[in-house]
Amino acid sequence: MIIHKDCIKTAFWIWLVAGVLIFLTLRFIPCPYISYPLCSILLFVMGFTVFFFRVPVRRAVPGDNVVTSVADGKVVVIEKVFEPEYLNSECMQVSVYMDFFNVHVNFWPISGDVTYYKYHPGKYLLAFLPKASELNEHSSMSIRNEHGEVFFKQLAGTFARRIICYAKPGEKGVKGEQCGIIRFGSRIDMYLPLDADIKVNLGDYVKACETVIAELK
């Protein structure tokens, strides 16, 4: 398990502060009934930091027409919608809600050409609210191959106010490789062709790279 490259600085400062506090606690609080519990809490914080900013090793499900999940989390939306920003057409929306304890790294759902990217400033409503998809700060991107196109959004939330996206139009995206990160969870909205064969149900828990969201025709 490794720490995400964009979170190393944050993790370093947390470890540094916790380490200094442990030293001061052991140095100036001789009573073990007080110092040991305090140190245990600080050690837990240090360990949780690694867990929180972890980058798991994932092996993507093969298949050029197989769309895997962009993020870990729970499927909270599956519905037919009109996507006005880029696709300008009706499509199937599948949304995955990432909670505080999920892996925060996002991965490309298919391999292909990155065709679109745009950052949208906005509000910080609760990520599970329907209006969040349009009103919240988010990054939009799209990737296309010979089987079809997958458009998706990284949504900020009330606490998740740090979105990082690596998408660059004209470059190649590879399924299973990182396309960004949303610190402290939030939501991913995926927009798929109407004829895509959706493989998940509402309430399903999915894992990035390993759970098949849909198959393109």
DSSP 3-state assignment of 45? helix
Partners of 74 in beta bridges: 97, 205
Q: The tokens 């880029």 sit on which residue?
A: 86
User: Does the annotation count 35 as an active-site position?
Assistant: no
What's the burial of 67, exposed, middle or buried (CB within 10 Å: 0-12/13-18/19+)?
A: buried
Are 147 and 216 in contact by the 8 Å Cβ rule? The answer is yes
Number of Cβ within a 10 Å radius of residue 12? 12
Residue 137 vs residues 79, 119, 121, 146, 164: alpha-carbon distances, Å: 22, 8, 5, 31, 12
Catalytic residues: 186
